[in-house]
């Protein structure tokens, strides 16, 4: 009885953008655990999650790895997916399970996960996409920028048939200071919300012109079709008239490498600023080799790890077996 909009799409390929966040829900009966049990109450959360963990591993390459202390999103219990790459929520909410895959999880997931997820959802009961974010990067800022987005809004190019949506400025627009600016269009409580921001500067590179476009779709007032998982570029290009220019290929791995590079540069700048003088004095005193032996310790800095499903901690269904 409620009218819902179906997101518009344009006839470009599916690889001109990438998915940067996805939420979906399924009925707990989709896993088959309940059907096999005589008494629904006899099925424990752990049994349910072990079964789901195996399914998620088939789809993403990683499963449920730990239980969180509290519930989330109005569910009574919640679990971590992979290396903090998402979350599973269960308990209450009419017997549904909510799965969230964040941006890092989308990067870490095994190639082809979008099609496997679509196939899985089509076989589930009460399956719904409740949020999906599409992103595109312009590494030079020459094609699109926060200033271009601002002008497009002035030119009514974010108007999709009604009134021009609200806009919001974040960061120092009067005197840009290298920390990055953001231009938001719409309201996050609605079914569609756009962010255009200076991604490189957000990561710490004060001279970077790397700009990211993100459009967040929610099922608040929209029907999110499962085929949105396969052609993100078509839906990003169709989100607003301002994005009709989007038509060339987007490489996710290139974006990932740029994130790591920018983060490493930021770490070096932090060390130089916080301890550069002391390090210089200690190197003079000990010499480089002995100094490094004294201050370095084993381990992998989290910011240097490329998100990859092979690096996920063991899933609970694997430990159980």
H/E stretch holding 193: strand 192-198
Local confidence band at 305 (pLDDT 50, 70, 90 cut-offs): low
Q: Is the pLDDT at 99 greater than 50, yes or no?
A: yes
| pLDDT above 90: percentage of residues in the chain | 44
Separation CA 40–CA 294 (nearest Å):
58
Query: What is 204-234 written as a DSSP string?
Result: T-TT---EEEEEEEETTSB---GGGGT-HHH
Local confidence band at 11 (pLDDT 50, 70, 90 cut-offs): very low
pLDDT tens digits along 191-219? 899 999 999 898 888 889 999 999 999 99
Task: Quote the tokens at residue 114.
Answer: 């979008």
CA dist 110 → 99, 116, 155, 168 (Å): 17, 10, 41, 36
Q: Is the pLDDT at 268 greater than 60, yes or no?
A: yes
Residues 6+ apart with CB under 8 A from 102: 21, 85, 86
Local confidence band at 161 (pLDDT 50, 70, 90 cut-offs): confident
Local confidence band at 10 (pLDDT 50, 70, 90 cut-offs): low
CA dist 123 → 88, 218, 253, 275 (Å): 19, 22, 30, 56
Local confidence band at 172 (pLDDT 50, 70, 90 cut-offs): very high
Separation CA 315–CA 92 (nearest Å):
24
Residue (of 215, 221, 223) closest to 158 by Cα position: 215
Q: How many CB atoms are closer than 10 A to CB 167? A: 15
**Bigger pLDDT: 319 vs 252:** 319
Q: Is the pLDDT at 105 greater than 80, yes or no?
A: yes
CA dist 24 → 97, 121, 130, 156 (Å): 8, 9, 5, 33
Q: Which of 6-10, 26-30, 115-119, 214-218 has the lowest mean pLDDT?
A: 6-10
- Give me the chain's average pLDDT, please: 84
Q: Is the pLDDT at 138 greater than 70, yes or no?
A: yes
pLDDT tens digits along 45-97? 778 888 999 999 999 999 999 999 998 998 999 999 999 999 999 988 888 99
Q: Which of 22-26, 128-132, 220-224, 253-257 has the lowest mean pLDDT?
A: 253-257
Task: Quote the tokens at residue 207.
Answer: 């001279």
Local confidence band at 9 (pLDDT 50, 70, 90 cut-offs): low
**How do 128-138 and 18-27 pair as beta strands?**
antiparallel
Residue (of 124, 143, 151, 114) closest to 31 by Cα position: 124
């Amino acid at each position: 009885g409620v009218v819902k909009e179906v997101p518009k799409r344009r006839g470009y390929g599916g690889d001109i953008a990438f998915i940067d966040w996805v939420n979906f829900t399924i009925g707990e009966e989709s896993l088959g655990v309940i059907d096999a049990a005589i008494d629904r109450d006899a099925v424990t959360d752990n049994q349910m999650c072990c079964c789901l963990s195996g399914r998620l591993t088939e789809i993403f390459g990683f499963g449920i790895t730990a239980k969180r202390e509290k519930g989330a999103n109005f569910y009574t219990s919640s679990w971590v997916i992979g290396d903090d790459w998402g979350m599973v929520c269960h308990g209450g909410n009419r017997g549904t399970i909510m799965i969230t895959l964040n941006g890092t999880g989308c990067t870490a997931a095994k190639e082809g996960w979008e099609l496997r997820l679509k196939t899985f959802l089509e076989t589930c009961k009460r399956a719904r996409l409740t949020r999906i974010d599409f992103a595109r990067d312009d590494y030079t800022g020459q094609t699109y920028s926060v200033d271009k987005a601002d002008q497009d809004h002035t030119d009514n190019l974010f108007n999709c048939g009604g009134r021009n949506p609200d806009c919001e400025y974040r960061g120092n627009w009067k005197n840009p200071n290298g920390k990055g600016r953001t231009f938001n269009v719409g309201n996050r409580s609605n079914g569609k919300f756009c962010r255009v921001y200076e991604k490189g500067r957000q990561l710490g590179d004060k001279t970077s012109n790397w700009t990211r476009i993100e459009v967040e779709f929610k099922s608040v007032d929209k029907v999110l079709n499962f085929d949105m998982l396969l052609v993100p570029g078509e839906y990003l290009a169709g989100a607003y008239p301002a994005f009709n220019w989007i038509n060339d290929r987007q490489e996710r791995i290139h974006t990932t490498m740029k994130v790591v590079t920018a983060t490493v540069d930021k770490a070096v700048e932090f060390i130089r600023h916080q301890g550069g003088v002391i390090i210089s004095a200690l190197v003079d005193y000990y010499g480089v080799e002995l100094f490094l032996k004294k201050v370095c310790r084993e381990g992998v800095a989290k910011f240097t790890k490329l998100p990859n499903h092979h690096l996920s901690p063991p899933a609970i269904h694997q430990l159980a077996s």
